[in-house]
Amino acid sequence: MSPQPAGSVRLGISGVSKQYPGCLANDNVSFEAGAGEIVALLGENGAGKSTLVKIAYGLVAPDAGRIEIDGHPAALTSPAAARAAGIGVVFQHFSLFDSLTVLENISLGLDTPAARANLADRIREIGTRYGLSVEPDSIVADLSVGERQRVEIVRVLLQDPSILIFDEPTSVLTPQAIEGLFGTLRQLRDEGRAIVFISHKLDEIMSLCDRVTVLRGGRVVGSVPIGETNTKALAQMMIGHEVPDVAQRRDLAGGPVRLAARGLTMSSQNPHAPGLQNVTLEARGGEILGIAGVAGNGQEDLLAALSGERLAATETAIELEGAPVGRLGPGARRKAGMAFVPGERLGRGAVPPMSLSDNGFLTAHWRLPLVRRGVLSARAGAEFADRVIERFQVATRSRATAAQALSGGNLQRFIVGREVLSEPSVLIVAYPTWGVDVAAVAAIHEALIGLRDAGAAIVLMSEDLDELLALSDRIAVLYSGRMSAPLPIADCGKERLGLLMSGATDAEAAGGASHAA
């Protein structure tokens, strides 16, 4: 890393534009990140952040504009060229081979044989220096999500970059792991590196970053020091208008048990996942039961078991409205009152090439009169799709639009709306606001609260603790396939939940949180 005086511009992007068919992704974008500075890059989905990062890393060539590194023009024609110029990127989605060791994975990501010399010792040295301890001989499949992220960061730091770009680095971490990561980023900043931090979590940006640049519609709409703004102002810059607050009530009286799992045990189809071990839960009418946990601790198996995609060993392992349904499939459970919002929008939540009208019919016909005498009523299906589009403000030309043509946020609005308007007594919802914009988050949260207030039981699975704390009435934690006892929201602090997500017992987590307080 070449030395630069504090405050000097390390990464300078001037007048960058990139046009795709039907989409101007970047429109005359200028952006700077200085030595010894953490700059947040903020914007909705589709604002142009990903394209800008790809341009800076040599993955995409801009149509116009100029990039400078430490004041000198840089031709970033490939990721190798970007790395050679001093740019390192830690992407949101890890690129690691589970069956290989840490050493083998890191070696694959290095550009030259010389960079692999004494690699195990250098991995340990980097880990010690930056608090990123990881054992080179460990198999990646045996590592936690936080440890896997350390591997990605160590791999980048071995190249001694002067500019580091982190794309949504906290999305799968516990609060304790996030605090550790922030300590590492501050240390890297203090060494004179320029850090670009991409996140949708406004509180994190306010606590970590020195400055924030906001993109909207492919253009820069503002760049301000963090001390001169707040989360409300940033949200308004992102979407162009004020974001309404979603009212929340805390009525813990509780209604009848609408969904229950009793001693649910199930092996996983993923050889690296723990499956489910004696999971017990109850979701009552008029409440949102939040389920927290780091990815890979049995979430997918629990969702499949509750929705009926995988059948339990016995009928009584799962009960819906007091009736055993453990051996019933998804259609029968929907007919009995269940609705389901999966984590994957395209492919599971909606069929990509099918119209919104047809996608609405796919699940809603179990609950609503969309079929008459065994024949689909095109009129009823169209009216239902129109109702979802209007009620949830889905931006689309018409109900005939294919699901794959919608933005992520608008498709998620449609899927959530379809399930809510089917009037279920139980809703299973997984990661409802993953990768959607601020306005869509507010609309989805409002819909979930409205359904709960109408008496439904909602099971909300999310990796976003802020979302769980904002919506849930009780929160349980899934760790290594086992479920903790649910805690009333009044007893759920981030510290305590983070300890539970790391494998602490209820008693240890309660004690640890009290000590931290």
Written in H, E and C, the secondary structure of 365-384 is: CCCCCCEECCEECHHHHHHH
To which CATH superfamily is domain 257-337+424-516 assigned? P-loop containing nucleotide triphosphate hydrolases (3.40.50.300)
Task: For 208-255, give the DSSP string.
Answer: H-SEEEEEETTEEEEEEEGGG--HHHHHHHHHSSPPPP------TT--
**Could you state, in order of their start, the residue ranges of all structural domains in the chain?**
9-239, 257-337+424-516
Give the mean pLDDT of 263-267: 95
Angle of CA points 430, 283, 312, to nearest 5°: 70
Q: Enter the pTM of the model.
A: 0.77
pLDDT at 442: 85
Provide CB contacts within 8 A for 431, sequence distance 6+: 343, 461, 462, 463, 464
**DSSP classification of residue 229:** -
* Closest CA relative to residue 362, chosen from 344, 381, 375, 346: 381
107-138 pLDDT, tens per residue? 987 877 777 789 999 999 999 999 898 899 99
- pLDDT, tens only, 281-326: 999 999 999 999 988 899 999 999 999 999 999 999 999 999 999 9
Longest CA–CA separation in the chain, Å: 77
Q: How many CA atoms lie within 13 A of 336 on its CB side?
A: 19
> Is residue 7 predicted with pLDDT exceeding 80?
no
CA distance 428 to 411: 18
User: CB of 18 within 8 A of CB of 62?
Assistant: yes
Unique residue bearing structure tokens 């209604």 = 255
CA distance 404 to 460: 25
Do 9-239 and 257-337+424-516 agree at the fold level? yes
- Give the separation between CA 6 and CA 194, rounded to whole angstroms: 10
pLDDT reading at 252 higher than 70: no
| Rounded Cα distance, 216 and 51, in Å | 13
Among 460, 471, 464, CA closest to 494: 464
Instruction: Report the range out of 44-48, 300-304, 491-495 with the highest average pLDDT.
Output: 300-304
Instruction: State the pairing for strand pair 375-376/371-372.
Output: antiparallel
Q: Which residues contact 229 (CB under 8 A, 6 or more apart)?
A: 212
pLDDT in tens, 174-227: 788 889 999 999 999 999 999 999 987 888 999 999 999 999 989 999 999 999
The encoded tokens of residue 232 equal 């409300």
What per-residue confidence (pLDDT) applies to 46?
73
User: Mean pLDDT, to the nearest integer, of 30-58?
Assistant: 91
pLDDT higher than 90, residue 143: no
Q: Are 35 and 193 in contact (CB under 8 A)?
A: yes
Beta-ladder partners of 375: 372
Measured between its terminal Cα atoms, the distance across the chain in Å is 40
Say if residues 41 and 77 touch (Cβ distance below 8 Å).
no
**Rounded Cα distance, 330 and 335, in Å:** 9
Architecture of domain 9-239: 3-Layer(aba) Sandwich (3.40)
SS3 486: coil
Q: Are 246 and 449 in contact (CB under 8 A)?
A: yes
What pLDDT band is residue 505 in, cutting at 50, 70 and 90?
A: confident
Which of 432, 418, 409, 267 is closest to 334 using CA atoms? 418
Average pLDDT value for residue range 221-241: 90
Tell me the C-alpha distance between 138 and 410, whole Å.
41
391-412 pLDDT tens trace: 998 988 899 999 998 877 889 9
Which residue blocks in 308-372 are alpha helix, DSSP H? 330-335, 356-364
CA angle (45, 51, 55) in 5-degree steps: 160
